[in-house]
Amino acid sequence: MAFQPPIECPLCRDVLELDRTLEDHLVEAHTHLEVARSLATLHERSGVQPVSD
């Protein structure tokens, strides 16, 4: 059986229990606004431009 490292939440840096998924943690522990802000920040940092530009 392959070793899977523990999952860390990118928002709060909590290490999740082995029986928890990141999706479950995000839904239960964070608001929609927190998750949206985090994703928007990552997108802005990446500097990815749409193909149409």
Q: What was the pLDDT predicted at 50?
A: 67
- Hey, CA dihedral for 35, 40, 45, 49, is it positive or negative? positive
Q: What was the pLDDT predicted at 15?
A: 97
Q: What was the pLDDT predicted at 43?
A: 87
Q: What was the pLDDT predicted at 48?
A: 66
The Cα 15–Cα 9 span in angstroms is 6
pLDDT digits (tens, 9 = 90+) for 3-51: 788 899 999 999 999 889 999 999 999 999 999 999 999 988 887 666 7
